[in-house]
Amino acid sequence: MNKKNVNKEEKDILGSYEQGQWRPVKNRKREVKKLQQYAQNTLRKDKRINIRMSSKDLDQVRVMATQQGIPYQTLISSIIHKYVSGYLKEKETA
């Protein structure tokens, strides 16, 4: 792989691979099928909701979505999905 054309995330992944931090999956076919099903379920948008939020927050969400090159509704959906999946946690206050 040409290391000159990779972003930071790709460099991190490549570095962890080169350091031997990756391990083979035991039942690859089953794991691939499971992950494909997760992806399909995640991408399926079968419900519509309306939410009220401050215009300041919505403006900031739109800016962040534009920076990521995605629609703001997709960003909001992704944030909610990450939260309910346990990947996004509230900050603990001291």
Render each residue's pLDDT in the chain as its tens digit; 94 residues.
555 778 888 899 999 999 999 988 889 999 999 888 888 877 777 789 999 999 999 999 999 999 999 999 999 998 998 899 888 888 887 6
48-69 burial code (b ≥16 CB/10 A, e <16): eeeeeeeeeeeeebeeebeeee
| Secondary structure letter of residue 36 according to DSSP | H
Per the CB < 8 A criterion, the answer to whether 71 and 65 are in contact is: yes
| 48 conformational bin, left if phi > 0, alpha if psi -120 to 50, beta if neither | beta
pTM here? 0.52
What is the model's pLDDT at position 2? 56
Closest alpha carbon to 39 in 78, 4, 72, 9: 78
Please list the alpha-helical segments (H only) found in the chain.
Answer: 8-18, 28-43, 55-68, 72-85
pLDDT value, residue 43: 74
What is the pLDDT at residue 40? 83
